[in-house]
Structure 1
């Protein structure tokens, strides 16, 4: 049985939280998670988190959007139904490129922005139906973090190191410290798309009226 603990330190100021994170990391401890009502600038660097790869997805989605809209404009205006507008020839995409730049720009931004947000929501598990229909449990250990408090979580702590962490938290201005048993999270099994949809969307059908026999 795992005897290690999880420690929660509650702070009422983001500067104190950031200072505590830097101090704990410098002492060799790992801050696993921080719950806050708003993003704290510099916290990801202090925790040692790697740089987000969302910018890469944004670039890929932008290229896809630019390619698709270019293909669409070429087919509509050049290949399928070429039209002479204002006495300008419309039989070559290269000659009419300036007219297509605004539409290409808008489509690039549209695809990059919207698809990046969708990717972010799914990557963070914030897609519709996860909590309401799938019956997943709440994972925020303290609801006060949605108001004006900041919670630091340190998992899998050896019982011999608890006192050291408590001292650092108190020195950095923690208003509340809680210690609980650390539960090892089981690794999720790889399932098929059919099973995934069944697990996450099965609850939707409970709200539908049943047919009378």
Structure 2
């Protein structure tokens, strides 16, 4: 997880619809939003925040392709080159016989690769230090964090925009 440093303005909202409609208003006002935290997923929030579409499918395909390549290379080497065996009169390199193991290694590489990708991209380590802008964001509140150092507007102007957008309270958090 990336270390946060700086001064943040934290807007606390009571309703998911209010924060979902507040995000475009705040972005139109010229405020750069650091992130929005909620106790459950809000559908459409990633589009409202302007986040790019995920590329996780590409990563999954590449892990699967790696598993397929490793399986076919391994079996071709073992059964056809290193120690060729005549089993039931079949060819040394017989692709129909390789299908089950190829499938299993493709799934295995994809699963392990995706779990590793998930942990790395989300900054999860064995002893993570969570960054909590407001502890109520895990229970019943919706929190919008705005880094003051990355915005050209003053703290008072951003506070006014947050309050006009429906924030119940606005706090300052220093990391």
* Equivalence for 1:73: 75
Answering whether residue 48 of structure 2 is matched by residue 46 of structure 1, we say yes
Q: Tell me how far apart the structure 2 counterparts of residues 72 and 80 of structure 1 sit (CA, whole Å).
A: 10
Answering whether residue 158 of structure 2 is matched by residue 162 of structure 1, we say yes
Structure 1 residues 102 and 148: alpha-carbon distance in aligned structure 2, compared to 1, 3 A threshold: farther
> Which runs of 5 or more structure 1 residues have no equivalent in the other structure?
132-137, 184-213
Query: 1:1-213 maps to which residues of 2 (within 5 A)?
Result: 6-85=8-87, 87-92=88-93, 96-131=94-129, 138-156=130-148, 157=151, 158-170=154-166, 174=167, 176-180=168-172
Superposed displacement of residue 151, structure 1: 0.9
Report which structure shows greater RCO (CA 8 Å, sep ≥6): 2
SS at match of 1:9: strand
Q: Tell me how far apart the structure 2 counterparts of residues 123 and 25 of structure 1 sit (CA, whole Å).
A: 25
Q: Tell me how far apart the structure 2 counterparts of residues 103 and 31 of structure 1 sit (CA, whole Å).
A: 48
Extract structure 1 runs of 4+ deviating beyond 4 A.
none
Structure 1 residues 129 and 162: alpha-carbon distance in aligned structure 2, compared to 1, 3 A threshold: closer
> Which runs of 5 or more structure 2 residues have no equivalent in the other structure?
1-5
